[in-house]
C-alpha cells in the first residue's frame, strides 16, 4: 500500500526528530543542525534514502555514526527500509550549520 503525501510528510518530520537525537561526539550539537544530513528521500512505499557526510573523512566515528543514523531512521514508524549514502561531495564546512548550531557553539 502506497503512502499519501501527508503520510510521507509525517514520516519525514519523524525522521528529522530522530536525526536530532544523534550527536557528533566531538561537537555538542546534533548532526541535523550541524548540516551533516544533505538529503532525506522517502518513497511512497516507505523506502528511505539518507545522504549524509561527516565533518571530516578522518572522523573518528566514521563507521559508528552512519550506523547509528541508519538504526535511528529504521526505527521510525512507517520506514520499511533504509539506504544510507555517505558522501564527501560537497565537503562539509561550518556554513552548513544551522543558525541554532552556530549560536550553540558561540559562533553568533
Determine the 3-state secondary structure of 30 from DSSP: strand
Cα separation, 76 vs 87, whole angstroms: 23
Please name the residue that has the C-alpha cell 499519501: 4
Domains of the chain, start order = 5-90 (3.30.300.130)
Residue 10: per-residue pLDDT: 97
- Is pLDDT at 71 greater than 90 in this prediction? yes
Residue 108 corresponds to which cell in the numbers above?
Answer: 553568533
Q: Please spell the DSSP secondary structure of 2-25, one letter per residue.
A: PPPHHHHHHHHHHHHHHHTT-B-T
Rounded to the nearest angstrom, the gap between the alpha carbon of residue 9 and the centroid of all alpha carbons in its chain is 16
pTM greater than 0.85: yes
Residue 34: per-residue pLDDT: 95
Amino acid at each position: 500500500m502506497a503512502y499519501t503525501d501527508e503520510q510521507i510528510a509525517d514520516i519525514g518530520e519523524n525522521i528529522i526528530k530522530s536525526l536530532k537525537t544523534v550527536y557528533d561526539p566531538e561537537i555538542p550539537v546534533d548532526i541535523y543542525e550541524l548540516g551533516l544530513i544533505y538529503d532525506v528521500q522517502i518513497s511512497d512505499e516507505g523506502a528511505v534514502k539518507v545522504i549524509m557526510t561527516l565533518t571530516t573523512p578522518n572522523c573518528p566515528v566514521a563507521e559508528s555514526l552512519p550506523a547509528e543514523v541508519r538504526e535511528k531512521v529504521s526505527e521510525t514508524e512507517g520506514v520499511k527500509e533504509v539506504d544510507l549514502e555517505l558522501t564527501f561531495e560537497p565537503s562539509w564546512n561550518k556554513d552548513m550549520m544551522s543558525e541554532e548550531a552556530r549560536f550553540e557553539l558561540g559562533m553568533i
